[in-house]
């Protein structure tokens, strides 16, 4: 019905009709899908939640007397970086923490600082302590170095997140008799609370369940700047069971995202600590969905009341990979503040910020309306449900 | 009326049965929300008193005159607005509804007046936006 080329032409002329995922849901209540599919060009989405599989590649440039940090040790504000690459390239992951962090020796540990915070502070332009040590070679004689850097001083700072934007996610509860501390937050005993982590109707991959418009090279909002979809995400699972409307009943697809940290803002990349678990990074991402036809229009119009998340016990079933889910609840119920589940009224909390997800969808909409952001067709499409691509557990001896 | 207070007893006062005398003399009800000894060996009591306004004032004055430092509870648990991501994970944890998700704006609001200083949100907030000086 429409092509991305035609939509981009309209964007450049300032004529494109762009609405957010929340707005299309409202419009869909009174306007026919046929009419909307014709009139609306782009629907924007957004999400802002803790995404542990995130990190940044840095290139520091060479010191006068050169040092081979590669294979040595590098610390940024005491947080160790991965050095198993070239001389002055490192990768700082969101969950890295200082060697002397007490971790869970006194359970639950606080995890006051880690890689997620280093990334936030880099994005904020703050000064970071860099400490490197190595073994010395003929070409890289220096064995140790201490200095301070900011993101402006170094060459590249490339955010590369192997797994973001989970299509759907678990609702975590605790069936045991004691409080547990998980990556899904603090869970009170006997289902005292239920935590979820998805922007639901605003979340990018719920709106394009078969990834028809999102693929390698898709231009997106990432951390406040422009980024790209850099591969399918790890733990990608297109063969997941689906609801009648196409939405996966659990996890499903994921995306690897890439972008220039120098363009990004700490408002959309925030270091966080999960008590008893570790540090992470809140990542803000938003993906535009081109409304190429009525089918896509119908997908983007699916609301929280029609999207369901599986409820999983994190005291036994999750840690022991039993695969058991206790049932499912809609995002509409989750967002209402309480769910009625297994005969109990349970208060809910979200790890992902709906307010910021909404803000991101709004910013992306504005960028497109202003003609600053053009849409891209995927360079190639990721494996679909027919590909037999599967998410496998680890084989143990 | 009810008053929620944090009482800091200097070490020399810790063993005195001050509270029981106080509630008898001024006809107060009380509920101890939290009690512990700080690293400086101060006794710390988070307590809710109820009684007439006049008697509550008198009781507070008497505690002060005996060397007890008093803080209103609202000043102890704070939300650092700049760090809060409005995720709402604290909302499901708070036992008294002092953390509220506004379902129009999806902003999380801290209502200090309802807070009983249980500390759950401090552990539960990933952004470490809920802090306490206790
Ligand atoms: S858990 Fe922390 S960051 Fe999330 S809404 Fe509550 S105070 Fe804000
Ligand atoms: S300290 Fe306890 S009562 Fe106060 S806001 Fe936090 S969770 Fe609620």
The pLDDT value given to residue B134: 53
Task: Render A65-77 in DSSP notation, one character per residue.
Answer: S-B--TTSEEEET
SS3 content of chain B, % helix, strand, coil (to 5): 25, 30, 45
B77-132 placed in CATH 3.30.70.360: no
Distance from CA of B114 to the nearest CA of A (A): 17
The pLDDT value given to residue B39: 65
Closest Cβ–Cβ partner in A112, A186, A270 for B93: A186
Give the residue-averaged pLDDT of A149-175. Answer: 98
Interface confidence (ipTM) of the complex: 0.95
| Structure confidence by residue, pLDDT tens digits, B104-120 | 999 999 999 888 888 89
**Quick check: A341 and A311 in contact, CB under 8 A?**
yes
Contact A194 B92 (CB under 8 A): yes
Contact B93 A193 (CB under 8 A): yes
Buried/exposed A17-38: b ≥16 CB within 10 Å, e otherwise:
bbbbbbbbbebbeeeeeeebbb
The pLDDT value given to residue A47: 98
**Quick check: A66 and A141 in contact, CB under 8 A?**
yes
Which of A48, A273, A353 to mutate to test binding with chain B, by most B CBs within 10 Å of its CB?
A353
Neighbours of B102 (CB within 10 A): 12
The pLDDT value given to residue B15: 61
- The chain B residue lying nearest A348, using CA atoms, is B92
Compute the distance from residue B125 Cα to the ligand 1 centre, in Å.
5
DSSP label of B122:
H
The pLDDT value given to residue B41: 72
The pLDDT value given to residue A303: 98
Under 8 Å CB pairs connecting chains A and B tally to: 77
Identical fold between B2-72 and B77-132 = yes
Please state whether beta strands A128-133 and A269-274 pair in parallel, antiparallel, or not at all (unpaired): unpaired
| Structure confidence by residue, pLDDT tens digits, B50-100 | 889 889 888 888 888 888 888 766 658 999 999 999 999 999 999 989 999
CA A316 to chain centre: 26
Pairwise CA distance, residues A15 & A41, whole Å: 10
C-alpha distances out from residue A33 to A18, A27, A28, A136, B8, Å: 16, 9, 7, 66, 65
| Structure confidence by residue, pLDDT tens digits, A39-95 | 999 999 999 999 999 999 999 999 999 999 999 999 999 999 999 999 999 999 999
pLDDT band at B103 (very low <50, low <70, confident <90, very high): very high
Cβ-Cβ contacts under 8 Å for A5 (sequence gap 6 or more): none
Instruction: Write phi, then psi, for A365 (nearest 5 degrees).
Output: -60, -45
The pLDDT value given to residue B74: 60
The pLDDT value given to residue A181: 98
**What 3-state DSSP class applies to A329?**
strand
Report chain B residues whose CB lies below 8 A from the CB of A178: none
- Closest protein CA for atom 7 of ligand 2: B94
Residue B96 vs residue A181, higher pLDDT = A181
Residue A270 has pLDDT above 80, yes or no: yes
Average pLDDT, chain A: 98
| Structure confidence by residue, pLDDT tens digits, A205-259 | 999 999 999 999 999 999 999 999 999 999 999 999 999 999 999 999 999 999 9
Structure tokens at B79: 């939300």
Contact B91 A50 (CB under 8 A): no
The partner residues of A142 in beta bridges, in order of sequence, read A67
B2-72 placed in CATH 3.30.70.260: yes
Residues near ligand 2 (Cβ within 6 A):
B 77, 93-94, 96, 98-99, 115-121, 130
Is B90 near chain A, with CB under 8 Å?
Answer: yes
Compute the distance from residue B124 Cα to the ligand 2 centre, in Å.
10
Percent of all residues in chain A with a pLDDT value above 90, rounded to a whole number: 99
Residue B32 vs residue A310, higher pLDDT = A310
Cβ-Cβ contacts under 8 Å for A42 (sequence gap 6 or more): A7, A11, A16, A17, A18, A19, A288, A289, A290, A291, A365, A368, A375
Residue A148 has pLDDT above 70, yes or no: yes
Buried/exposed B83-96: b ≥16 CB within 10 Å, e otherwise:
bbbbbbbbbbbbee
Could you tell me which of A147, A143, A151 has the C-alpha nearest to residue A68? A143
Torsion over CA: A229, A232, A237, A241 (sign): positive
Pairwise CA distance, residues A229 & A214, whole Å: 8
Domain extents in chain B: 2-72, 77-132
Contact B89 A273 (CB under 8 A): no
C-alpha distances out from residue A116 to A113, A222, A322, Å: 8, 15, 30
Is A50 near chain B, with CB under 8 Å?
Answer: yes
Indicate the range of A129-138, A257-266, B72-81 predicted with least confidence: B72-81
Q: Which helix (H) or strand (E) is A262 found in, with range?
A: none
Instruction: Write phi, then psi, for A154 (nearest 5 degrees).
Output: -95, 165
Give the residue-averaged pLDDT of A20-35. Answer: 98
Give the residue-averaged pLDDT of A342-361. Answer: 98
Contact A355 B124 (CB under 8 A): no
**Quick check: A346 and A173 in contact, CB under 8 A?**
yes
The pLDDT value given to residue B47: 86
Give the residue-averaged pLDDT of A318-336. Answer: 98
Report chain A residues whose CB lies below 8 A from the CB of B85: 48, 270, 272, 282, 353, 356
């Amino acid at each position: 019905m429409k092509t991305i080329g035609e939509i981009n032409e309209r964007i450049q002329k300032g004529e494109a009709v762009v609405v957010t995922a929340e707005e299309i849901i409202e419009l869909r209540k009174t306007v026919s899908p046929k009419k909307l599919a014709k009139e609306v060009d782009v629907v924007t989405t957004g999400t802002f939640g803790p995404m542990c599989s995130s990190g940044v590649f840095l290139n520091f440039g060479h010191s006068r007397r050169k040092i081979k940090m590669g294979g040595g040790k590098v610390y940024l504000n005491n947080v160790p970086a991965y050095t198993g690459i070239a001389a002055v390239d490192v990768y700082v992951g969101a969950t890295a923490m200082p060697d002397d962090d007490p971790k869970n020796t006194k359970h639950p540990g606080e995890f006051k600082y880690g890689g997620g915070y280093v990334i936030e502070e880099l994005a904020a332009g703050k000064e970071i302590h860099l400490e490197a040590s190595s073994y010395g070679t003929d070409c890289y004689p220096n064995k140790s170095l201490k200095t301070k850097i900011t993101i402006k001083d170094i060459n590249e700072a490339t955010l590369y997140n192997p797994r973001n934007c989970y299509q759907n996610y678990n609702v975590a509860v605790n069936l045991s008799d004691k409080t547990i501390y998980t990556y899904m937050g603090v869970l009170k005993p006997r289902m005292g609370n239920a935590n979820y982590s998805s922007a639901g109707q605003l979340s990018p991959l719920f709106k394009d369940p078969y990834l028809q418009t999102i693929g390698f090279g898709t231009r997106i909002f990432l951390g406040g700047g422009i980024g790209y979809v850099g591969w399918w995400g790890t733990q990608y699972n297109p063969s997941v069971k689906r609801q009648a409307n196409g939405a996966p009943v659990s996890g499903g697809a994921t995306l690897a995202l890439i972008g220039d940290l120098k363009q990004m803002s700490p408002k959309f990349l925030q270091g966080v600590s999960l008590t008893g678990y570790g540090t992470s990074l809140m990542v803000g991402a938003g993906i535009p969905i081109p409304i190429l036809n009525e089918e896509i229009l119908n997908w983007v119009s699916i609301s929280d009341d029609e999207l369901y998340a599986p409820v999983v016990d994190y005291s036994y079933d999750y840690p022991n990979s039993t695969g058991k889910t206790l049932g499912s609840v809609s995002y509409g119920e989750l967002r209402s503040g309480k769910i009625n589940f297994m005969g109990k009224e349970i208060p809910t909390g979200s790890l992902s910020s709906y307010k910021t997800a909404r803000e991101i969808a709004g910013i992306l909409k504005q960028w497109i309306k202003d003609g600053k952001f053009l849409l891209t067709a995927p360079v190639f499409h990721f494996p679909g449900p027919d590909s037999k691509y599967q998410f496998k557990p680890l084989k143990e001896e | 009326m009810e008053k929620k207070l944090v009482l800091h007893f200097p070490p020399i006062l810790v063993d005195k049965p001050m509270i029981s005398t106080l509630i008898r003399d001024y006809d107060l009800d009380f509920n101890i929300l939290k009690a512990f000894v700080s690293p400086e060996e101060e006794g710390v009591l988070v307590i809710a008193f109820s009684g007439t306004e006049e008697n509550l004032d008198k009781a507070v004055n008497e505690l002060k005159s005996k060397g007890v430092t008093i803080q209103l509870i609202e000043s102890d648990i704070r939300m650092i607005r700049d760090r809060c991501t409005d995720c709402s994970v604290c909302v499901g944890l708070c036992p008294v509804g002092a953390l509220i998700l506004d379902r129009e704006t999806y902003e999380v609001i801290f209502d200090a007046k309802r807070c009983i200083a249980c500390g759950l949100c401090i552990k539960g907030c990933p952004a470490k936006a809920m802090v306490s000086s206790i």
